[in-house]
């Protein structure tokens, strides 16, 4: 189990700020994972989200793709992406979800597909 700072160890004066930090992007991904069997979260200019998409495309697997900025899109977009990393605990893009479960990135997806563990 990954470590996360317990609520009682966050001062009451900042709890709302912590819990609402770019909540909209987290909720958007949560909704997408509830409404779609496959979801890939990525960013422009990063070749690994493209690799994950190609893996699913090559198998005819439909997915929802959510793209959040690029390497040059500025600090606000970086902070929004960082909220996803904090929520999932996954440090890189893409974030690949299957039936609401985070599988990891493109290489993790490839291993699971190749092994036959996933369709």
Residue 85 lies in a domain: yes
Q: What's 102's domain CATH number?
A: 3.40.30.10
Domain, as residue range, for 84: 9-115
In a domain, 60, yes or no: yes
**pLDDT on residue 22:** 93
More confident residue, 105 or 69: 105
Total domain count, the chain: 1
Whether 3 maps to a domain, the answer reads: no
Q: Residues 49, 40: contact at Cβ < 8 Å?
A: yes
Kind plus residue range of the DSSP H or E element containing 110:
helix 106-115
100, pLDDT greater than 90: yes
Tell me what pLDDT residue 77 has: 87
Please provide the average confidence, as pLDDT, over all residues in the chain: 95
Q: What is the pTM of this model?
A: 0.92
Q: Is residue 2 part of a domain?
A: no
Rounded CA gap, 71 and 16, in Å? 29
7-17: pLDDT as tens digits: 999 999 999 99
Helix ranges (H only) for 1-92 are 15-20, 23-35, 47-58, 75-88
Q: Note whether residue 4 is domain-resident.
A: no
Q: What is the mean pLDDT of residues 88-92?
A: 95
Rounded distance, CA 94 to CA 48, Å? 6
Would residue 1 count as lying in a domain? no
């Amino acid at each position: 189990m990954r470590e996360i700072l317990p609520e009682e160890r966050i001062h009451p004066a900042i709890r709302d700020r912590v819990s609402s930090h770019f909540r909209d992007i987290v909720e958007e991904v949560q909704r997408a994972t509830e409404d779609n069997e496959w979801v890939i979260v990525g960013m422009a200019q990063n070749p690994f989200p493209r690799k994950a998409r190609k893996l699913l495309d090559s198998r005819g697997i439909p997915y929802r793709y959510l793209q959040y900025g690029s390497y040059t899109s500025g600090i606000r977009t970086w902070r929004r992406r960082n909220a996803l990393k904090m929520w999932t605990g996954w440090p890189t893009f893409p974030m690949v979800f299957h039936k609401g479960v985070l599988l990891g990135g493109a290489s993790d997806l490839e291993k699971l597909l190749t092994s036959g563990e996933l369709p």
